[in-house]
Amino acid sequence: METADTVIVGGGVIGCATAYYLAGRGLRVVLCERRALAAEASGANAGMVGASGGLPGRTLLHTRKSIELLAQAEEELGQPIEFVRGGRFMLAHSPAQWTAVQDFAATRRREGIDVELLSGPDARRLEPLLGPSVVGAAHAPGDGHVNPFLLTHAYAAAAKRHGAEIRTGVTVTALDMSGGRVSGVRTQTGGIAAATVVLAAGAWSAELMARLGVSLPVRPGRGQMLVTDVLPPLSRRVLRAPALGIRQDVRGHLLIGSTVEDVGFDRGVTLPTLARFCQVAAGIMPVLRTARILRAWSGFRPMTPDSLAIIDTVPGATGLVLATGHSRSGVSYGPVTGWLVAQLVADGKTQLPLTPFRLDRFAAPAAISAAAGSRTGSVTDGHTHH
Amino acid sequence: MAERSRSVIVCRCENVTIGEIADVLEVGARTFDEIKRVTRAGMGICQGRTCECVVTDLLVEDGRVAPEEIVSRSVRPPVRPITLEVLAASEPDAPRLPDEA
């Protein structure tokens, strides 16, 4: 049986970023992706990133580190990723939304993230194409957007240059366990023995864990999106209203979305939802009315109950690291997740606390039963808690 | 593939050349969608209608994918480009999205 230091399950942005950082630490990494890199949620999103998107009091530290790492990645990876740091507007179109936007600005500023409040007229001075119904906006100048396909592939290519093997079309069918330790993975083409397995399979992570008797609280959340034909440059900013996000890519296409729907793995798109996107988008930016839609699609976000990722070891399964459940923010947290998981695996501790991402924060304890593997002597809990 | 043909454009919408496609085949792309994600072939206004044949020919000619294993490009609505205002008008009673205040 072939061996590796670490097997990574999943070739999305999380898996590929982890492969990059781990291979950079000199570990022998094999990444197994059942379809293709960025074939799922990592290839279905609008690429919005930024420090302001974290959860106040919990993960703003992480989102800020993540965008710093992303800015560095552009240079380090040596391939274009189309990272545009043009800022984000959180738009308010009603008094209630304006209150929420003020709170957004205050909570971020309190933790050192630059967010300013703009009145409607001031917002439109900076973004002249905003519709007349805008009441105000919170402006986070440090946020931005990136091409998630290019980012995922760039991480993978750089990981390969550091000796990692990136295998697509390889389905991991099971995680191998022996005496409370993970011993590798099984695929349709044979097994790979490894001391560490990182599970970064997004909405499909729960399936693999279920086979170990662990109930992982990650469910598919379908998100619909549409893309328009190329338009002249309208804005470099990410525009977010509570129900909709809009951003323009470097070629001029606009990405508009999204939803979170509990429909299992149904890949369809629905007309009323897409029509509502168009109605709301036209209110946000009236010139978009005549933009032509080229494509609509859906993707499955790995949703957790609190929309925060699960980055943790698993009691009773030494050597298994979960890096999944990134809900709606996988691209934003991708860089810092890879960076932290590499530390967890290589050093046994992380430079930022993983407290917000612990598996045991969920009500129902999720651990390998005593029958399946030893739970007691797990010396390697893995990381220190700050 | 002959060097001189590398600059031939395959996807006219996004100006993707034979050379760019050959390069991604080298690093493992085996389906139209995989080629599309990295080269942008098929992301333009015709959404791959024009270039799918040529890309498929290149895949078969390359030899790493057997003809019977070729996977078609994924096709999504709309069938042809439609403006936001037309799509908006088609469902005047569309329910509000969950996060709309």
Give chain B's domains with CATH numbers: 3-90 (1.10.10.1100)
Above 60 in pLDDT, residue A375? Answer: no
Domain annotation covers residue A329? yes
pLDDT digits (tens, 9 = 90+) for A228-256: 999 999 999 999 999 999 999 999 999 99
Domain annotation covers residue A380? no
Res. A74 pLDDT band, cuts 50 70 90: confident
Q: Which residue of A274, A285, A287, A289 to mutate against B (max B Cβ within 10 Å)?
A: A274
Which residues 54-93 in chain A show a CB within 8 A of chain B?
A: 93
Res. A286 pLDDT band, cuts 50 70 90: very high
* Contact (CB<8Å) B87/A288: no
How far away is chain A from the Cα of B2, in angstroms, using its nearest Cα? 26
ipTM for the whole complex:
0.95
* The pLDDT of residue A374: 34
Identify the domain containing residue A271 by its residue range. Answer: 219-303
Of the candidates A2, A7, A386, the one whose C-alpha atom is nearest the C-alpha of residue A195 is A7
* The pLDDT of residue B55: 95
* Contact (CB<8Å) A278/B99: no
- Per-position DSSP letters for B18-82, written without gaps between them: HHHHHHHHHTT--SHHHHHHHH-TT-STTTTTTTHHHHHHHHHHH-SS-GGG--PPP--S-SS-E
Residues A211 and A313 occupy one common structural domain: yes
Query: Which domain CATH number covers A253?
Result: 3.30.9.10
- Number of compact structural domains in chain A: 3
Domain annotation covers residue A74? no
Above 90 in pLDDT, residue A370? Answer: no
Strand A181-187 and strand A172-178: the pairing is antiparallel
Residues of chain A positioned with their CB less than 8 A from the CB of B30: 36, 168-169
pLDDT digits (tens, 9 = 90+) for A9-64: 999 999 999 999 999 999 999 999 999 999 999 999 999 999 999 999 999 999 99
Q: Is A345 helix (H, G, I), strand (E, B) or coil?
A: helix
pLDDT values of chain B reduced to their tens digit, one per residue, 101 residues: 555 589 999 999 999 999 999 999 998 899 999 999 999 999 999 999 999 999 999 999 999 899 999 999 999 999 999 999 999 999 999 999 998 96
Domain annotation covers residue A102? yes
* The pLDDT of residue B2: 53
Res. A7 pLDDT band, cuts 50 70 90: very high
The Cα A303–Cα A320 span in angstroms is: 20
pLDDT digits (tens, 9 = 90+) for A331-343: 999 999 999 999 9
Residues A161 and A126 occupy one common structural domain: no
Sorted by sequence, the CB contacts under 8 Å of residue A359 that are 6+ apart come out as A216, A310, A312, A314, A322, A366
The Cα A283–Cα A362 span in angstroms is: 39
Domain annotation covers residue A288? yes
Which range has the worst mean pLDDT, A79-83, A153-157, A360-364? A360-364
Q: Is cis: bond before A258, omega within 30 of 0?
A: yes
**Which H/E stretch holds residue A75?**
helix A60-76
- Dig out the tokens for A360 from the structure: 């045991």
Total residues found in chain B within this entry: 101
* The pLDDT of residue A368: 53
Residues A234 and A277 occupy one common structural domain: yes
Above 80 in pLDDT, residue A226? Answer: yes
Above 70 in pLDDT, residue A187? Answer: yes
pTM: 0.94
Of the candidates A243, A175, A228, the one whose C-alpha atom is nearest the C-alpha of residue A204 is A175
The Cα A255–Cα A237 span in angstroms is: 12
Res. A366 pLDDT band, cuts 50 70 90: low
User: Could you say which of B30, B37, B84 has the minimum Cβ distance to residue A38?
Assistant: B37
Which residues 156-195 in chain A show a CB within 8 A of chain B?
A: 157, 166, 168-169
Residues of chain A positioned with their CB less than 8 A from the CB of B101: 93-94, 96-97, 242
Q: What are the b/e assignments for A361-383, b being 16+ CB within 10 Å?
A: eeeeebbbeeeebeeeebeeebb
Rounded to the nearest 5°, which phi and psi values hold at A237? -85, 160
- Per-position DSSP letters for A127-182, written without gaps between them: STTS-TT--EEEEETT-EE--HHHHHHHHHHHHHHTT-EEEES--EEEEEEETTEE
Residues A213 and A321 occupy one common structural domain: yes
pLDDT digits (tens, 9 = 90+) for A287-337: 999 999 999 999 999 999 999 999 999 999 999 999 999 999 999 999 999
* The pLDDT of residue A251: 96
- Dig out the tokens for A10 from the structure: 């999943």
* The pLDDT of residue A385: 31
Largest CA distance in chain B: 59
Sorted by sequence, the CB contacts under 8 Å of residue A376 that are 6+ apart come out as none
Residues A277 and A173 occupy one common structural domain: no
Q: Which long-range contacts (CB under 8 A, 24 or more apart) does A52-56 make?
A: A52/A88, A52/A90, A52/A104, A52/A108, A52/A113, A52/A115, A52/A138, A52/A140, A52/A142, A52/A143, A53/A143, A53/A329, A53/A332, A55/A308, A55/A356, A56/A107, A56/A108, A56/A110, A56/A111
Query: Which domain CATH number covers A344?
Result: 3.50.50.60
Which residues 9-28 in chain B show a CB within 8 A of chain A?
A: 27-28
Q: Measured at the alpha carbon of residue A342, what is the angle toward residues A15 and A114, in degrees to the nearest 5?
A: 85
Q: Measured at the alpha carbon of residue A377, what is the angle toward residues A373 and A379, in degrees to the nearest 5?
A: 115
Residues A247 and A273 occupy one common structural domain: yes
Above 60 in pLDDT, residue A112? Answer: yes
Amino acid found at B9? I
Q: Would you tell me how many other CB atoms lie within 10 Å of the CB of residue A190? A: 10
* Contact (CB<8Å) B97/A259: yes
Total residues found in chain A within this entry: 386
pLDDT digits (tens, 9 = 90+) for A163-175: 999 999 999 999 9
